[in-house]
């Protein structure tokens, strides 16, 4: 797509990728490209510095800052509406809608504790916003009304969630895992035993060959990803694999959290980004790794593919994995973009 970056690899741009200009001042907590309904590529990043920033990403790799909004507190999640005209921002205990055309924002949802996830649901007979919070509830909002149209109790605090109509999946504290069906109205479909033994951190739904959601990838703090099918034909279909670990050849192995997982919209292959500062491309059907990146200067906190799968964005910044002592406010976060269509092609065998 856009060719080689004209920048050489600097000390922090280890992969010689395109660096997004004017990044946030604190770690990126949410990173989303605009949906396919929008012709251009817009990138939204929510950050711990309470800002939400929007850039346009041009074909050449150049990023143009378009707009920025400052919230009352750290932003934990963002999502686009299906038509790409509005952005939902989860900041502290509220979710606000940001109309990009009018540059207006308005509150649309609220919880008793910080909202960790927000996802827009578009079905044939309804649209709504799904919000998951540390107050152990999952709420669904018709954005025109101040009260939720539906509230579901979770067994524990919501840590991660994903929506791909008609499926939604939520990972909670205490290794909880619940799958919801969104047809007609959101209902709990089933609870699954977590394939991972450690705290859930990120979850992402994948589709089958017919482009219907069929399972999810779950990442934990223990450098491991579980691939689970909602209805596995064969129990062997479910498996886990280890990732984001140092080699251990010296007798000591460091295990890092998987901070984010994203599936390529076309190829169906996936990427994991880790606390160790690397990203890796995987083919879950061939059960093989496709590529591993160099180690970045800081952890990679979030990643996203653009709508046509040409651009892979990843955000580098401190994720608190070593506690507050290792927080260095002078080390600024960065967001990088790379052309990824070829790298993520599945293994043919």
Judged by CB under 8 A, the chain residues 9 through 38 that form the site for other proteins are 29
Q: State which of residues 41, 50, 51, 137 lies at the interface with other proteins (CB under 8 A).
A: 50
Among 67, 127, 150, 195, binds other proteins (CB under 8 A): 195
Binding mask 152-171 for other proteins (x = CB under 8 A): -----x-x------------
Residue 222 φ then ψ, to 5°:
-105, 35
Name which of 105, 185, 103 is nearest 151 in CA terms: 185
Does 202 contact other proteins by CB under 8 A?
no
264 near other proteins (CB under 8 A) = no
The smaller minimum CB distance to other proteins, of residues 42 and 134, is found at: 134
The smaller minimum CB distance to other proteins, of residues 86 and 302, is found at 302
From candidates 321, 343, 345, 346, binder to other proteins by CB under 8 A: 321
Q: Which of 341, 343, 227, 321 is nearest to 27 (CA)?
A: 321
CA distances from 92 to 72, 74, 89, 259 (A): 8, 6, 10, 20
Sheet with 63-70: strands ordered across: 28-33, 41-47, 51-57, 63-70
Minimum distance of other proteins from residue 160's CB (angstroms): 9
Distance CA 312, CA 298 (A): 18
- Residue 237 has a CB neighbour count (10 Å cut-off) of 14
Site residues for other proteins, window 83-112 (CB under 8 A)?
92-93, 112
261 scored as a contact of other proteins (CB under 8 A): no
Q: What is the 3-state secondary structure (H, E, C) of 59-108?
A: CCCCEEEEEEEECCCCEEEEEECCCCCEEEEEECCEEEEEECCCCEEEEE
Which one of residues 10, 184, 253, 308 is an interface residue with other proteins (CB under 8 A)?
A: 253
Q: Does 146 bind other proteins (CB under 8 A)?
A: no
Q: Which residues would be at the binding site for other proteins (CB under 8 A)?
A: 29, 48, 50, 72-74, 76, 92-93, 112-114, 116, 134-135, 157, 159, 173-175, 193-195, 197-199, 201, 221-224, 235-236, 238-242, 245, 247-249, 251-257, 275-276, 280, 282, 286-289, 292, 319-324
């Amino acid at each position: 797509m856009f060719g080689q970056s004209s920048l050489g690899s600097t000390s922090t741009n280890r992969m010689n990728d395109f660096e997004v200009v004017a990044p946030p001042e604190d770690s990126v907590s949410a990173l989303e490209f605009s949906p396919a309904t929008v012709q251009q590529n817009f990138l939204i990043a929510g950050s711990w510095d309470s800002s939400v920033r929007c850039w346009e990403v041009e074909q050449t790799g150049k990023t143009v800052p378009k707009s920025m909004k400052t919230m009352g507190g750290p932003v934990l999640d963002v999502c686009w509406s299906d038509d790409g005209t509005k952005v939902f921002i989860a900041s502290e205990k509220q979710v606000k809608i940001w109309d990009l055309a009018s540059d207006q924002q308005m509150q649309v949802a609220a919880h008793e504790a910080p909202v960790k996830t927000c996802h827009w649901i578009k079905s044939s007979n309804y649209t709504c916003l799904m919000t998951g919070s540390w107050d152990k509830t999952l709420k669904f909002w018709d954005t025109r009304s101040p009260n939720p149209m539906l509230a579901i109790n979770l067994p524990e605090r919501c840590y991660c969630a994903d929506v791909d109509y008609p499926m939604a999946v939520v990972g909670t504290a205490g290794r909880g895992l619940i799958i919801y069906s969104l047809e007609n109205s959101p209902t709990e479909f089933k609870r699954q035993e977590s394939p991972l033994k450690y705290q859930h951190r990120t979850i992402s739904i994948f589709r089958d060959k017919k482009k219907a959601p069929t399972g999810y990838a779950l990442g934990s703090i223990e450098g491991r990803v579980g691939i689970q099918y909602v209805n596995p034909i064969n129990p062997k279909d479910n498996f886990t694999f280890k990732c984001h670990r140092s080699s251990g050849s010296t007798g000591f192995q460091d295990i890092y959290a998987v901070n984010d997982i994203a599936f390529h919209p076309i190829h169906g292959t996936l990427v994991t980004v880790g606390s160790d500062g690397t990203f890796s491309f995987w083919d879950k059907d061939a059960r093989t790794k496709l590529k591993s990146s160099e180690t970045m200067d800081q952890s990679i906190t979030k990643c996203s593919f653009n709508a046509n799968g040409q651009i892979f964005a990843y955000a580098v910044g401190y994720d608190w994995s070593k506690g507050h002592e290792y927080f260095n406010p002078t080390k600024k976060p960065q967001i990088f973009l790379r052309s990824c269509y070829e790298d993520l092609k599945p293994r043919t065998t």
